[in-house]
Amino acid sequence: GNSVTQMEGPVTLSEEAFLTINCTYTATGYPSLFWYVQYPGEGLQLLLKATKADDKGSNKGFEATYRKETTSFHLEKGSVQVSDSAVYFCALNPFSGSARQLTFGSGTQLTVLP
Amino acid sequence: EAGVAQSPRYKIIEKRQSVAFWCNPISGHATLYWYQQILGQGPKLLIQFQNNGVVDDSQLPKDRFSAERLKGVDSTLKIQPAKLEDSAVYLCASSLDAGTDTQYFGPGTRLTVL
């Protein structure tokens, strides 16, 4: 079956620190990979995506590279801000380019202190 | 472009009562999803529609949950009767068509069952 395993939280960093949130996956097909962010009291917002091996998704200073050999899609940011405090979800769609259900990880709570 | 709209944002009911949630997807989006997000977990799919047809309802507890999308636009999710374990955030998402894997989420409805 399909599954996503995320780094356990919560994660607390100081402003301008480097961020890594680990994500590994198991999929039976050729998945698309996503990172979503959920701010307090809001729904999920798409942060970035990658659709095939070695693709790099990027947005708002965040990056993640689709690594097929290690089945990973780790999220990184070079310098976090207080406004990045949120819950981050890694997700996969088992069939890239097709409208199918997303399988999500359990989420990682990030708190950035000033 | 308006995003996915959901109402109500919050609902508190007693167990064994019924409740309904409404979702209006992004204009022109043919695919609509309902997810259940229990506190501390990632969202899990309940049902997926393509236009007004059901694509996947394998994880919908059909003895108490029902959903419809009669005209292929907005959708209603109903729970009758509610149980304590139904307390969760119900998220609606949409994507453009059957060949698009990026989903856009609404703000969610937070249900508390007492």
pLDDT tens figures, B52-109: 899 999 999 999 999 999 888 999 999 999 999 999 999 999 998 877 778 999 999 9
Distance from the B64 Cα atom to the nearest Cα atom in chain A, whole angstroms: 21
Which of B38, B39, B101, B109 should one mutate to test binding to chain A, selecting the residue with the greatest count of A CBs within 10 A?
Answer: B101
What does the pLDDT average to over A87-98?
86
Which of A48, A101, A108 should one mutate to test binding to chain B, selecting the residue with the greatest count of B CBs within 10 A?
Answer: A101
Distance CA B27, CA B44 (A): 24
pLDDT tens figures, B39-59: 988 999 999 999 989 999 999
Could you give the percent of chain A with pLDDT greater than 70?
97
| Range list of β-strands (E), chain B | 5-7, 10-13, 19-24, 31-37, 44-50, 53-56, 65-68, 75-79, 88-95, 104-105, 109-113
pLDDT band at A103 (very low <50, low <70, confident <90, very high): very high
Closest chain A CA to residue B92: A43
pLDDT higher than 80, residue A99: no
What does the pLDDT average to over B14-27?
96
pLDDT band at A63 (very low <50, low <70, confident <90, very high): very high
Nearest in space to B101 (alpha carbons), one of A68, A69, A2, A91 = A91
- Indicate yes or no: CB of A98 within 8 angstroms of CB of B99: yes
What pLDDT score was predicted for residue B89?
Answer: 95
Tell me the two tokens of residue A33.
């990979």
Longest dimension (CA), chain A: 42
Tell me the two tokens of residue A97.
């380019």
pLDDT higher than 70, residue B1: no
- Indicate yes or no: CB of B107 within 8 angstroms of CB of A43: yes
